[in-house]
Amino acid sequence: MSNEKPRVSVIIPNLNGKTLVTECLASLERQSFKDFEVILVDNGSTDGSVEYVRGEFPWLDKIIENPSNLGFAKACNQGIEASSGEYIALLNNDTEAHPSWLAELIRVAGENPDAGMFACKTLSYDKRDIIDTAGHLIYPDGLNRGRGRLEVDRGQYDDKPDVFFPSGCAALYSKKMFDEIGPFDEHHFAYGDDTDVGIKGRLAGWKCIFVPGSIVYHRYSMTTGEYSPGKAYLVERNRIWIVWKYFPMKHLLLSPFFAFVRYCYQFYGALTRKGAAGKSASQYSIWSLVAGVIQAYVSAFADAPRVWRERKRMMKLKKVSNAEIDRWFRDYRMSVREIALKD
């Protein structure tokens, strides 16, 4: 499907996604933009995914097989290392890409050479007028979520192209940006990977643009479960690391206060069955959530020396002023109710 040196390398991490990845790959066959290669990185699937894909999609350019689940971040890095494209497109295996998905991304990328990240409009697979994400925003403790999540798509964000960073579910990145800032942080394993790369890219001076015509339909959290304690643990631990690595000292010192406020709202949500905490408490228990947060802090502090060494290295990439970072927390900020009480 690709030329010898394709414009775009599409990387699809996969874990036991045999029933999902078929539709994802079929949607790539229907792309109006053809100058791309596809790299499937399989994380030790046991459902016959690789054998099935080889038989049904012989045009696949590369398949990387891992003996076990090495995590989303590792899979992305393997795909980037094996890529040949000028741009890197990440695509979850539980997605269906609109035929103009890549064409719109490349059109906007060509018009914005100073941008290193491009966010797609991701809609719910089952309810295709419902927004999953229109680019990501951030809460002051480092947690983030998609702009407009669960809103009916009326085009309300189509004329607002400035977003903080894209969702790793479906995004385009400049290969030059990765060459400058380095790869995904494999210590994250999963969740927060796109946040880590997004903030790192921003610190290095790269912009992010929302591309409303680049549409992907997404089945939310099909691999790990929407509200599982394991997901909650990874999200919270990785959030702490991101704050330590990238936040200026003023925002780093304020982040525990904002985290405490969020915990209060989430505890309320767990009791009243509102938001992600409420759904998780319904499926598991409040105490499983509390245990996950405690485990996240234990794990984060156990690896603190490495993270602080990484902070020193990351600060050498910084090309933006503290005033610009203050603007991020003002312009891309989301409320505590949005982060804690919405599904």
Q: Would you say residue 226 has pLDDT above 70?
A: no
Q: Please state, in angstroms and rounded to a whole number, the distance separating the CA atoms of residues 118 and 126.
A: 24
Q: Which amino acid is at 172?
A: L
Whether 1 is covered by a domain: the verdict is no
Whether 313 is covered by a domain: the verdict is yes
Q: Which amino acid is at 140?
A: P
Q: In terms of domains, do 80 and 169 share one?
A: yes
What is the rounded average pLDDT of the residues 120-134? 97
Please tell me the least confidently modeled range out of 201-205, 210-214, 339-343: 339-343
Please tell me the least confidently modeled range out of 118-127, 140-149, 224-233, 260-269: 224-233
Tell me, what DSSP letter sits at residue 248? -
Q: In terms of domains, do 140 and 192 share one?
A: yes
pLDDT at 228: 78
What is the rounded average pLDDT of the residues 16-44? 97
What is the residue-averaged pLDDT of the chain? Answer: 93
What is the rounded average pLDDT of the residues 153-179? 97
Share of the chain above pLDDT 90, in %: 85
Residues 200/173, Cβ–Cβ less than 8 Å: no
Whether 270 is covered by a domain: the verdict is yes
What Å distances lie between residue 104 and 4, 5, 85, 143, 148, CA to CA?
22, 20, 17, 29, 20
HEC string for 1-62:
CCCCCCCEEEEEEECCCHHHHHHHHHHHHCCCCCCEEEEEEEECCCCCHHHHHHHHCCCCCE
Q: How many domains does the chain have?
A: 2
Tell me, what DSSP letter sits at residue 160? -
The model's confidence at residue 222, banded by pLDDT at 50, 70 and 90, is low
What Å distances lie between residue 319 and 72, 75, 166, CA to CA?
28, 28, 20
Residues 75/39, Cβ–Cβ less than 8 Å: no
Q: In terms of domains, do 158 and 91 share one?
A: yes
Whether 294 is covered by a domain: the verdict is yes
Q: Please state, in angstroms and rounded to a whole number, the distance separating the CA atoms of residues 87 and 173.
A: 6
Tell me, what DSSP letter sits at residue 124? E
pLDDT at 221: 58
Question: Distance from first CA to last CA of the chain, Å, rounded?
Answer: 38
Q: Please state, in angstroms and rounded to a whole number, the distance separating the CA atoms of residues 113 and 142.
A: 28
Q: In terms of domains, do 36 and 73 share one?
A: yes
Q: In terms of domains, do 71 and 106 share one?
A: yes
Q: Where does a domain end: 167, 183, 218?
A: 218
Residues 133/338, Cβ–Cβ less than 8 Å: no
What is the rounded average pLDDT of the residues 147-176? 96
Q: Which amino acid is at 131?
A: I
**pLDDT tens, 295-340?**
999 999 999 999 999 999 999 999 999 999 999 999 999 999 999 8
Handedness of CA 99, 102, 183, 202 (dihedral sign): negative
**pLDDT tens, 330-339?**
999 999 999 9
Instruction: State the residue range of the domain holding 330.
Output: 229-341
Whether 181 is covered by a domain: the verdict is yes
Q: In terms of domains, do 240 and 168 share one?
A: no
Element (H, E) at 325: helix 322-331
Q: Which two tokens stand for residue 112?
A: 């914005």
pLDDT at 284: 82
Q: Would you say residue 225 has pLDDT above 60?
A: no
Global pTM reads 0.93
Whether 223 is covered by a domain: the verdict is no
Whether 3 is covered by a domain: the verdict is no
Q: Which two tokens stand for residue 178?
A: 């990765």
- Of 208, 190, 188, 189, whose CA–CA distance to 198 is shortest? 208
Q: Where does a domain end: 170, 194, 218?
A: 218
Q: In terms of domains, do 133 and 260 share one?
A: no
What Å distances lie between residue 27 and 44, 54, 57, 142, 221, CA to CA?
24, 16, 12, 34, 19
